[in-house]
């Protein structure tokens, strides 16, 4: 399965067929993308994306056409490692419905401070350019999905 990286305008994914890099624009994340080189239809991201900069994070949450599930974590945090496979399951099962990203609060301490993340793991849901809900502590994938469904049920994204 392809992994993605963020840039200012979208998620960059290498085509699994030919290796061409393609961009899934943030504004059209739920829509099918065809590879610019070989025209293969690229499936939606089914893995969590590691956020590499706060500028890319801001661009994503401001423009994403899908709800964004954020896993705030750090390498030294035991419960974060327990929740990681559950986050992966959510990304795989909800591909094309939610986008799942991970924020390493050691590497991106400015984001952790700006959003007032005091304990990890913390899960947050962003939609329509703002944070809709957050919860802390490790939990199974089905609980995470229920949390996201509830957070996004009241808003149109
Ligand atoms: Zn291709």
pLDDT digits (tens, 9 = 90+) for 69-119: 999 999 999 999 999 999 999 999 999 999 999 999 999 999 999 999 999
Centre of ligand 1 to C-alpha 10, Å, is 18
Phi, psi of 60 (to 5 degrees): -60, -55
Q: Are 23 and 7 in contact (CB under 8 A)?
A: yes
Res 7: pLDDT? 95
What's this model's pTM, rounded to 2 decimal places?
0.94
Residues near 109 by Cβ (< 8 Å), separated by ≥ 6? none
Mean pLDDT across the chain, nearest whole number? 94
Cα of 38 from ligand 1 centre, angstroms: 4
> What is the pLDDT, as a whole number, of residue 1?
44
* 110 CB neighbour count, 10 Å cutoff: 12
Q: Which of the four pLDDT bands, split at 50, 70 and 90, describes residue 154?
A: confident
The alpha carbon of 42 and the centre of ligand 1 are apart by a number of angstroms equal to 8
Tell me the mean pLDDT in the region 132-157.
91
Our measurement of the distance from residue 79's CA atom to the centroid of its chain's CA atoms, rounded to an integer in Å, reads: 19
Q: Which residues are catalytically annotated?
A: 77, 80
**pLDDT average, residue stretch 124-145:** 95
Decide: helix, strand or coil at residue 124. strand
Cα of 120 vs centre of ligand 1, distance in Å, is 38
């Amino acid at each position: 399965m392809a992994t993605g990286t963020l840039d200012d305008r979208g998620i960059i994914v290498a085509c699994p067929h030919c290796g061409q890099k393609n961009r899934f624009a943030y504004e059209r994340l739920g829509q099918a993308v065809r590879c610019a080189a070989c025209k293969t239809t690229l499936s939606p991201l089914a893995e969590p994306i590691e956020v590499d900069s706060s500028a890319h994070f801001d661009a994503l949450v401001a423009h994403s056409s899908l709800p964004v599930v954020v896993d705030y974590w750090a390498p030294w945090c035991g419960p974060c490692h327990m929740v990681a496979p559950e986050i992966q399951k959510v990304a795989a099962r909800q591909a094309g419905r939610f986008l799942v990203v991970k924020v390493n609060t050691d590497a991106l301490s400015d984001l952790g401070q700006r959003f007032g993340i005091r304990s990890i793991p913390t899960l947050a849901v962003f939609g329509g350019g703002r944070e809709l809900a957050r919860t802390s502590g490790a939990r199974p994938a089905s609980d995470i999905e229920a949390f996201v469904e509830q957070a996004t049920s009241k808003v149109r994204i």
